[in-house]
Amino acid sequence: APESETAPEVRLDVDGDVAVVTIDRPRALNALSGDVLEALDAAFVQITDAAASVRGVLLVGEGGRAFVAGADISAMQGRGPEEGERMARLGHRVAERIEACPAPVIACVDGFALGGGLELALACDLIYATDASAFGQPEVRLGLIPGFGGTVRLPRVVGPARARELIYTGRRIDTEEAVRAGLVARRFPDRDALLAGARETIALIAQNSPVAVADAKHVLVAAAGRPTGEAVELEIDGFMHSFGTDDMREGVTAFLEKRTPGFSRG
């Protein structure tokens, strides 16, 4: 399993079958500079290459105040449309890496998840959060629009009406409201409980077939936003693929023999 420092401000630690990606730039509330985005990209490439051993990923922000307070505003001053496009494309590349990672990724939010920070969390499979968190798309307050999937993924998760309200007002919502909106899957009283809860979820995932979990993620990502007929075809392809795997033979046989299945390592 890889264990390395991909860049000073992003750490990748692999602990058994759990990978932890830590954004460590607390003096700027973990704002996404170009370097941080490049390092996140590299970390998720490395995890995907180690796919057989990693069963789940935790994405966390260091410092206790923020998951990520957005894209780095200090890098925007005096910049034109070319820089806007470059930043947005880099952000979207990171989102694609997270979506291409076969293991589920849990955004562990403890503090601010704003702008690009919320968009980063939305690219993950699940958002878990502490009660001390706040969520929002404040871009219009800066004269910007969301540039890293906010207009695309937020309405899918919370519905178009709530997404419009959040994007047009830029207002922040607390964890309780984020849970009600379907943005946060589970809330926790503090950071330790959050990380323990996320690890418990990965332990449950790790009992299942790695091939099936990866195929389910692949279909969920590929089908998002597609018309029903196309999405159904993608599901049928994935379901067909299941029927050709050793894990399917093992899982079905183990059920019928009333024993615990011994799945592949991915």
Q: Which residues are catalytic?
A: 119, 139
Of the listed pieces 54-62, 96-104, 141-149, 159-167, which binds ligand CO8 according to CB under 6 A?
Answer: 141-149
CB 59 within 8 A of CB 120: yes
The C-alpha atoms of residue 72 and residue 81 are separated, in whole angstroms, by 16
Rounded to a whole number of angstroms, the minimum distance from the CB of residue 11 to ligand CO8 is 19
Q: Is 71 in the site for ligand CO8 (CB under 6 A)?
A: yes
Q: Is 173 in the site for ligand CO8 (CB under 6 A)?
A: no
Of the listed pieces 51-59, 146-154, 198-206, 242-250, which binds ligand CO8 according to CB under 6 A?
Answer: 146-154
Is 69 or 173 the residue whose CB approaches ligand CO8 more closely? Answer: 69
Collapsed DSSP state (helix, strand, coil) of residue 138: helix
Q: Is 204 in the site for ligand CO8 (CB under 6 A)?
A: no
Rounded to a whole number of angstroms, the minimum distance from the CB of residue 147 to ligand CO8 is 3
Q: Is 148 in the site for ligand CO8 (CB under 6 A)?
A: yes
Is 56 or 70 the residue whose CB approaches ligand CO8 more closely? Answer: 70
Nearest CA-CA partner of 111 in 61, 185, 48, 184:
61
Of the listed pieces 4-12, 134-142, 173-181, 235-243, which binds ligand CO8 according to CB under 6 A?
Answer: 134-142
Is 63 or 261 the residue whose CB approaches ligand CO8 more closely? Answer: 63
Q: What is the DSSP-derived secondary structure letter of residue 13?
A: E
Q: How many residues bind ligand CO8 (CB under 6 A)?
A: 25
The C-alpha atoms of residue 55 and residue 103 are separated, in whole angstroms, by 5
Q: Is 147 in the site for ligand CO8 (CB under 6 A)?
A: yes
Q: Which residues pair with 208 in a beta bridge?
A: none
Is 145 or 252 the residue whose CB approaches ligand CO8 more closely? Answer: 145
Bridging pattern class, strands 134-136 and 112-114? parallel
Q: Is 23 in the site for ligand CO8 (CB under 6 A)?
A: no
Residue 235 φ/ψ, nearest 5 degrees: -65, -40
Burial 86-110 (b: 16+ CB within 10 A, else e): ebbebbbebbebbbebbbbbbbbbb
CB 202 within 8 A of CB 55: yes
Is 85 or 237 the residue whose CB approaches ligand CO8 more closely? Answer: 85
Residue 101 φ/ψ, nearest 5 degrees: -70, 120
Is 71 or 101 the residue whose CB approaches ligand CO8 more closely? Answer: 71
Burial 129-155 (b: 16+ CB within 10 A, else e): bbebbbbbbbbeeeebebbbbbbbbbb
Site string for ligand CO8, 74-113 (x = CB under 6 A): x------------xx--x--------------------x-
Contact footprint for ligand CO8 (CB under 6 A): 28-29, 31-32, 37, 69-74, 87-88, 91, 112, 114-116, 138-139, 142, 144, 146-148
